Amino acid sequence: MSLTLPTGFTAAALAAGIKPSGKTDLSGVVSSHDCTWAFSGTRSTTAAACVGRNRELYAACGPVRALLVNAGNANAATGARGERDNADMADAFGSVLNVPEQAVLTASTGIIGHLLPMDRVLSGIEHLSDDLQPGADLFASAIMTTDTRPKTAQATLSTGARIVGTAKGSGMIHPDMATMFAFAFTDAAVESGALRAAFPAIVNRTFNAVTVDGDTSTNDMAAVLANGQAGEVPLAEFLAALEGVMRDLARQIAADGEGATKLLTVQVQGARTEAEALAAARTCCVSPLLKSAVHGNDPNWGRVIMAVGRSGAAVDIAHLKVGVQGQPVFAGQPLAYDAAAVSESMKAKEVVFTVDLGVGEATGEAWGCDLSAEYVSINAEYTT
């Protein structure tokens, strides 16, 4: 079923020749009206040109009208030329749309260290607005790199306002964000200050709770654009719906990890703080040992004990509890359980570990995937 963007948003995508495969690789989303927006980008010190420019625009607090994305080339580690190329992309799309260059956000994803083929990019931009449509599906597909499928989610609020989210990400995924894009578009009217104040915590509980392989990219970003065309909505309801959309997208990214066959979910409770709960959950999800055990259907809960112990979270081991697929396996000491039955249950598409740290009331959840030989194959041959 086709996914329609909220009122006032349109999208287009085409093959500009950036990807050697010839697949769609240049796309954009345009709003008919100015948008309030919130943004989060990678904390990598080798961040790409698009992240740096978007961050500068965010600090300037001006409205935005469009988002331009290219896939197949990260335009990272490309020096001053890469920064000029990124700015030229925004300027060209702004000219086509008759909006200021400062109202156009940019995003690039793909191989690091290669200059963009700007003749193809600029030629593609000239034609991108020819087929703007309210459908989101082409955009969701065009932003992919090693993803095996598009990632979308949506929510409808009590007022009728809608939120539609799209994301890409499969490998080089780790908190601080990941090699991922996540974009949400809404026709709700949301005050800029409130949106910006709430966004970091939402990102921390969703996209910063995803890990595939422990590597953080140069181009990660998440953004939400609100054009107000459906009118005002209760702020608490909107923020809860936005977090729900982003949580859905985060889980889809983890499930589509490079070479993944299963989604790994770790739910932590009994922590002193949310930060410690998230740290414990994330550390479990990034552990190669636990990820390998999940791939092999091995209910080796010792891997969880190990990961929690090195996460930095406070633990009372006498009150620590661990469960695998709903089966308690540790409660201050090893518990008797049917290992063969639990192993069989781990053949499911989602494997869930529950952990109670025994020291507080805070909770947190993180998502990852199993570690397969296919992950090595994909990344051993990524550029060749």
The residues facing 155 across adjacent strands are: 163
Query: 255-287 burial, b for 16+ CB within 10 Å, e for fewer?
Result: bbbbbbebbbbbbbbbbeebebbbbbbbbbbbb
- Cβ neighbours, 10 Å, residue 158: 10
Cα gap 193→183, rounded to integer Å: 19
The structure tokens listed for 120 are 């193809």
What residues have CB less than 8 Å from 290, skipping those under 6 apart? 264, 284, 300, 303, 304, 307, 353
DSSP 135: B
Cα gap 24→17, rounded to integer Å: 8
- Dihedral over alpha carbons 345, 347, 348, 354 (to 10 degrees): 60
The structure tokens 């194959």 sit at 377
Q: Residues 13, 223, 258, CA angle at the centre, nearest 5°?
A: 70
CA dist 202 → 182, 195, 224, 238 (Å): 12, 10, 11, 12
Kind of pairing, strands 263-271 and 362-369?
antiparallel
Cα gap 353→364, rounded to integer Å: 12
DSSP 100: -
SS3 49: helix
Backbone angles phi, psi at 74, to 5 degrees: -80, -20
What residues have CB less than 8 Å from 111, skipping those under 6 apart? 72, 73, 74, 382, 383
Active site residues: 179
Kind of pairing, strands 26-41 and 64-73?
antiparallel
Kind of pairing, strands 263-271 and 350-356?
parallel
Q: Say what angle helices 79-97 and 118-128 make with each other, to 10 degrees.
A: 20
